[in-house]
Amino acid sequence: MPLQDYMPVIDDRSYESIVREVRSRIPRYTPEWTDLNESDPGMIIMELFAWLTEMQLYRLAQVPELHYLKFLELVGIELEPARPATAQLTLAVSAGHSQRAVIVPAKTQFSAAEADEQGRIVFETERAFTLVRANLVDLLADDGFNYRDLGNDNLDTTATFLPFGPAAVRDNSFMLGFDEELPPETLTLQAWSPIASEERVVSRCYSEVETISSTRLAFEYWNGREWRPLTLLKDDTAAFTRSGSLQLRGPASGEMVARGFGDITTPRFWLRARIDASGYEQAPRLLAVRANTFTVSQAQTYEFEALGGSNGEVDQVLRLRNAPVLAGSLVLEVDEGDDYQAWQEVPDFYGSGARDAHYVLNRTTGEVRFGNGRNGRVPVANASNRSNVRARSYHAGGGSRGNLAAQAISKLLDSVKGVDGKAVSNLFASAGGSDEQSLDDAIRRAPQRLKTRDRAVTAEDYEELALLSTNIARARALPLYHPDYPGIDVPGVVSVLVVPDVEGDAPVPSEGTVQTVCAYLNQRRLLTSELYVMGPTYSTVVVRAQLVAEDTADLAALKSLALESLDLYFHPLHGGEQSDPQLPVDDPERSGGGWPFGGDIYYSLLYRRLLFSGVKRLVSLQIELDGEIYPECSDVPLATGVLLRSGAHEIQVDYEVNS
């Protein structure tokens, strides 16, 4: 959104407050003035000057902030528009449907089971896809010696499994069993494969040239006598080393033959991924594999929407009915007497000529602005008073409201023949949705944005750009830190820790959020940098303290305040030294911006934290971190990048006992 839409207020004194202030000074400076009724001529003059003062304050208050906003506008900094969330939806063909494959058209809409205060949350497919009737029911890992059943592991999405076994050497295979023969159409498989430790999700950010894996997989199907090759159309997983989709062309009808393997005695129709050339540094792990799973975005498509008619004037502004508009989705057409012709979107008119059919779009508000005849063409006036400007199509949507929990998207809004509307689910949470950037946030980050120029070179650049990528509250870049080799400086490596802007005492990003940040930073990093994005590691801190209260204090209230103060102090998003327990809970000044990454716990500062109003003194104070109890009066060190979560603090409050 343009910054000019905001009018900052520095001095917020109103007419009423000025009148009250002047009236309060009358007895001190002019005690002989005793008639303070509104009919008094002096009071009339005072109110007149109060009104003039308010007007002057209003105008003067705009000058410094307005200059700042105009400067940001001049250098091209505007508020970041809302971004849509994405999710992977798993569908199924209706039971008893006669066809083995169903085409789900583009722009098919789905929604969450429950609406929020803004209404229904709609997701939409970006392209058409093929849904197969065959269900993926069994998975096996074949290491050349035995078959391991992975079916239960695939259902448990909280733990990982080894699709090729622990060795992942040549000719090991990952086998997928279906309950019926696959049709000759395209089969889509979705694999979730975080490179993760037990504490956090870690993802390496690959560039386009790095998507070629050193491992070569051969995809095959069982025809009753031997394994025959399948055609691989696309592999976004880089041989199951990261999350993504695979597309395979099914064999000809009648080619697949059912049989059992290993402990799977029920005949299944099998395909497999066999390691033809192994280049794995370590055996890949998967969280889950699903068939008939496709990507949807939290946006809706609108077509053939009339914006209005051109009047031939310069700098015309028309508005779309729906906003925010997704980047690159608007196809705008203007009829100047020779039928509708598409116009081109540009960021501004500085490079546009007098005859260039250009327009500028404000994605947040949906405003479409045309040129002035010198920079950008003016659409020919419509003499028939008919709308000659239309949006042929565009996508609108976005916001953090689209970040939904797993299994929350469960409704099929469109009627698609052959699709089971009751078998819609998102196995993992949707991610990537963010609201429009606030004005305060834009002003705060403007100096850093001018410094980075959309390129990640220094650690600060990585942190600033990570905050712009999606719904991220905090970020910390760790140069030379490799997640697989902690404690060892690895040249060329940068790891970025991100904390999402969500509720909870220990927020962790989902895999979708980590990959969104990865994709954003990957376009802006140096080519020679090896980049990782991960969630933070949390350590649990428990404070045991004995407080002596003032004689007039409420013991229960003091204990509650002490517990609340500690929870706030150690909070990863709101903790830190600026947090003041004496301020109201909803006061923004109470937030310290989050506990610092890897920030040590200083005994003296924690001691002072508990000396608030009503506390006479502290008898004892002890800190426990991850089960280790530290001696009194000693600071507690934290490892690099570690944040804190509060455990069950033990606070005892008593009155002074006189001897």
Q: What is the 3-state secondary structure (H, E, C) of 307-371?
A: EECCCCCCCCEEECCCCCECCCCCEEEEECCCCEEECEECCCCCCCCCCCCEEEEECCCCEEEEC
- Best CATH choice for the domain 439-535 from the list 3.30.1390, 1.10.287, 3.30.300, 1.10.10: 3.30.300
CA distance 92 to 88: 14
Q: Which residues pair with 111 in a beta bridge?
A: 122, 411
CA distance 246 to 210: 17
User: Where does CATH 3.30.300 sit in the chain?
Assistant: 439-535
Closest to 297 in 3D by CA, of 515, 516, 110, 502: 110
Contact in structure between 531 and 525 (CB atoms under 8 Å): yes
User: Where does CATH 2.60.120 sit in the chain?
Assistant: 131-289
Give residue 378's identity as a one-letter amino acid code: V
| Pairing label, strands 358-362, 344-345 | parallel
Q: From residue 15, how far is each of 25, 48, 64, 405, 646 by CA, in Å?
A: 16, 10, 22, 49, 47
Q: Check residue 64 and give its pLDDT.
A: 62
How many helical (H) and strand (E) elements, i.e. helices and strands, does the chain have? 8, 37
Angle between helices 459-469 and 439-452 (to 10 degrees): 140
pLDDT one-digit tens code per residue, 520-558: 898 888 888 899 998 899 999 999 999 999 988 889 999
Q: Check residue 69 and give its pLDDT.
A: 66
Q: Locate 4 and state its tokens.
A: 């000019």
| Chain centroid offset of residue 234 CA | 27
CA distance 414 to 2: 36
Q: Check residue 3 and give its pLDDT.
A: 47
CA distance 436 to 86: 17
Closest to 443 in 3D by CA, of 77, 81, 60, 10: 77
Q: What is the dihedral of CA 440, 442, 443, 447, to 10 degrees?
A: 150
CA distance 395 to 325: 6
Closest to 296 in 3D by CA, of 117, 426, 176: 426
Phi, psi (rounded to 5 degrees) for 259: -165, 170
CA distance 620 to 193: 48
Q: Check residue 26 and give its pLDDT.
A: 87
Q: How many CA atoms lie within 13 A of 393 on its CB side?
A: 7
* Residues in the chain, total: 659
Q: Check residue 11 and give its pLDDT.
A: 63
Give residue 643's identity as a one-letter amino acid code: L
Q: From residue 112, how far is each of 135, 298, 405, 414, 425 by CA, in Å?
A: 24, 10, 10, 14, 10
Phi, psi (rounded to 5 degrees) for 96: 85, 0
Closest to 173 in 3D by CA, of 210, 192, 148: 148
CA distance 653 to 549: 7
Find all residues with CB under 8 Å of 514, minimum gap 6, and list them. 194, 201, 202, 203, 498, 533, 534, 535
Mean of per-residue pLDDT scores for the chain: 85
Contact in structure between 468 and 453 (CB atoms under 8 Å): no
Phi, psi (rounded to 5 degrees) for 493: -100, 135
| Chain centroid offset of residue 316 CA | 35
First to last CA, the chain: 68
Contact in structure between 652 and 545 (CB atoms under 8 Å): yes
Question: What stretches of 482-609 adopt beta strand conformation (E)?
Answer: 489-500, 530-534, 537-549
Find all residues with CB under 8 Å of 59, minimum gap 6, and list them. none
CA distance 272 to 283: 17
For the chain, the maximum distance between any two Cα atoms, rounded to a whole number of angstroms, is 114
For residue 282, the 8-state DSSP code is S
Q: Locate 592 and state its tokens.
A: 């310290």
| Pairing label, strands 227-229, 216-222 | antiparallel
Fold adopted by 131-289: Jelly Rolls (2.60.120)
pTM of this prediction exceeds 0.75: no
Give residue 457's identity as a one-letter amino acid code: V
- pLDDT beneath 50, residues of the chain: 1, 3-7, 195-199, 208-211, 581, 584-590, 659
Name the 3-class secondary structure at 111. Answer: strand
Q: From residue 621, how far is each of 142, 442, 570, 652 by CA, in Å?
A: 57, 42, 16, 11
Alpha helices in 75-122 (DSSP H): none
Q: Locate 320 and state its tokens.
A: 């779309």
Q: Check residue 9 and give its pLDDT.
A: 53
Closest to 2 in 3D by CA, of 366, 395, 333, 535: 366
| Chain centroid offset of residue 291 CA | 26
